[in-house]
Amino acid sequence: MEHKAGFVNILGNPNVGKSTLMNALTGEKLSIITSKAQTTRHRILGIVNGEDFQIIYSDLPGILKPNYKLQEKMMGFIDMALKDADVVIYMVEAGEKKYNETIVNQILATKVPVILIINKIDLSDQPKVEEQMKYWQAIFPGHPVIPLSALRNFNIQKVLEQVIDFLPDSPAYYPKGELTDQPMPFFISEIIREKILLNFKQEIPYSVEIVVDSYKESEKIIKIAAYIFVARESQKMIILGQGGKAIKRIGIDSRKDIEEFVGKQVFLDLTVKVSKDWRNNDRQLKRFGYEI
């Protein structure tokens, strides 16, 4: 039997619905979703297996202007994404017309098959969607354009079929039972970060980084210790909250989600630490896992 396999990289601006699409495609909540931009900083792989195919998806950081060191690193992920992709999905949302010409040209120049996806069509109407399809078809000539709603699960199957069609003949890269190649601590830190995103205003979520320090699994319980790094003492006070109220809330919410994810009872110990200016500090960024 012929077998197809390959790497599919999903690119697009923050908030267009990349993580939602990947979750719809993989059928699991692998990458966190919130309504705030820039949630996904790391590269996440979700693997979809069929009898005669294997698709390895990456959900990449949004396409952003590099204006400080952390964002330069994010652009590095995109460069890499284009280099190792068998298929590129470029995602926009209904109504979106702006694009970064340099990045689009870079994508078109790779000769990798590109699928242009217009997401969130549940928020639009037929004539507008048709107009959008024409607009993007002109920018990506010769490449398929698929309108869909990742949230409402509309046209997901079409994406799957198109991706499989584009995949090269290849044996599977990963054992077929595996859902993702990201280690458990990664998902745990993502869950904690999601709770911080949901509980605090703008400047706090973007000033934190979570590091899972230890993960000890016994028969009945998993003991996890994690650090929440912030840039300033004042941010630490906010995250702790009055009498430790805020950190307690984050701990409880995170623990519930982690328990659901790992399917076991969890003991979660969170410590808030000040690590000055981590965004601009190369050594710190490396420690936090941004090294490629």
Q: In this chain, which stretch among 71-79, 107-115, 149-157, 196-204 interacts with ligand GDP, using CB under 6 A?
A: 149-157
Query: Cα separation of 105 and 103, whole Å?
Result: 5
Q: Which DSSP string do the residues of 147-212 spell out, in sequence order?
A: E-BTTTTBSHHHHHHHHHHHPPB---SS-TT-S--S-HHHHHHHHHHHHHHHHS-TTTGGG-EEEE
Name 119's Cβ contacts closer than 8 Å, sequence gap at least 6. Answer: 16, 17, 20, 21, 91, 92, 93, 94, 148, 149, 150
Give Dmax over CA atoms of the chain in angstroms. 63
We find the least distance from the C-beta atom of residue 58 to ligand GDP, in angstroms, to be 12
- What would the two tokens of residue 76 be? 């590095």
Give the whole-angstrom CA distance, residue 63 versus residue 82.
Answer: 13
Question: Which among Mg ion, ligand GDP, none contacts residue 20 (Cβ within 5 to 8 A by kind)?
Answer: ligand GDP
Closest contact distance (angstroms) between CB of 25 and Mg ion is 13
The region of 42-50, 144-152, 193-201, 235-243 touching ligand GDP under the rule CB under 6 A is: 144-152
Q: Are 31 and 9 in contact (CB under 8 A)?
A: no
Q: Which of residues 36-55 bind Mg ion (CB under 5 A)?
A: 40
Q: How far is CA 11 from CA 86, 87, 91, 99, in A?
A: 13, 11, 6, 12
Q: Check residue 119 for interaction with ligand GDP (CB under 6 A).
A: yes
Annotate each residue in 26-45 with x if it binds ligand GDP (CB under 6 A) or - if it does not, as one string: -------x-x---xx-----
* 19 near Mg ion, rule: CB under 5 A: yes
The CB-of-42 to Mg ion minimum distance in angstroms stands at: 10
Cβ neighbors of 185 (< 8 A, separation 6 or more) are 212, 215
Footprint of ligand GDP on 184-203 (CB under 6 A): none
Q: Is 26 in the site for Mg ion (CB under 5 A)?
A: no
**3-class state of residue 274 by DSSP:** strand
Interface with ligand GDP (CB under 6 A), residue from 9, 58, 132, 149: 149
Q: Which does 44 bind (CB under 5 to 8 A by kind): Mg ion, ligand GDP, none?
A: none
Is 269 one of the binding residues for ligand GDP (CB under 6 A)?
no
Sign of CA dihedral 140, 112, 44, 272: negative
User: Binding string to ligand GDP for residues 5 to 24, with x set by CB under 6 A, is what?
Assistant: -------x-xxxxxxx----
Shortest Cβ 242–ligand GDP spacing (Å): 30
237 binds ligand GDP (CB under 6 A): no
Q: Say whether residue 150 binds ligand GDP (CB under 6 A).
A: yes
Query: Using the rule CB under 5 A, is 124 a contact of Mg ion?
Result: no
The residue ranges that bind ligand GDP (CB under 6 A) are 12, 14-20, 33, 35, 39-40, 62, 119-120, 122-123, 149-152
The residue ranges that bind Mg ion (CB under 5 A) are 18-19, 40
